[in-house]
Amino acid sequence: MAVVDENNNPLNFEIYDKHIVIYVGEAQIVDVSYYTPDITYKEGLIWTINVSSDFPFNIILPENAVVVDLSEVPLKIASNVITMPPGNQSISYTLEFKETPTEEGQSYSKYLLPLGILVFILLISIVLARNRRKEPKRTEVHIDKEEFLKKLESFNLNEDERRALLYILEKGGRASQAEVRTALEIPKTTAWRMFKRLEKQGLVKIIKGRKENWVELKL
């Protein structure tokens, strides 16, 4: 982790549990940078970044990244920097490895910019179409309560995970992440990571909605 001011001078800081205390002094702007594997994962050739924030934020992609999916329309795109709106956002991309250009390859370079613009317009259209989808209807999922509780015994779950699953079970097997987060009184980022862990263990299925993700129990 690195904490600097507007002049790139380092600032002193201390970390307590999940909180950071920064001694800003006379700094007008504080820039906090840190490395973590928790927000990025890879499936096949596709890398995906997941970030949950209450404020707009920038994602700096590798120079050779090619974006293949976005959770929402970006606020701004400048080179390899994408500014996303607040909320639970994700960006998927692949890495393109280019060979040394030949004379023949250079002759096609003039077509790359129009093609890139066309691809970008198509991508935005797909995102807009996806955002028009309706939120999942409030329908009960057929979950055998005794069978599900028995299944939980074979997992090493913490208290929040167990409470979240029992809450969703009481709601008929499906609930929005916001409902669960409010019921458990936990931060948005903590809840998002918890649902990701439960999904990897095969206990829930995350359903993407237009404004809020939903969580459905799985037997």
* Cα separation, 98 vs 80, whole angstroms: 16
Q: Which of 95, 83, 118, 117 is nearest to 48 (CA)?
A: 95
In whole numbers, what is the pLDDT of the chain averaged over residues? 79
DSSP structural state of residue 209: -
Domains contained in the chain, CATH given: 1-35 (no CATH), 38-131 (no CATH), 145-217 (1.10.10.10)
Q: What's the pTM?
A: 0.39
pLDDT at 116 over 50: yes
pLDDT at 134: 47
Average pLDDT value for residue range 190-219: 85
pLDDT at 36 over 50: yes
- Listed in sequence order, the residues at least 6 apart from 103 whose beta carbon sits closer than 8 Å to its beta carbon are none
> Mind listing the pLDDT tens digit for each residue in 126-163?
655 555 554 455 555 566 778 878 888 888 889 889 88
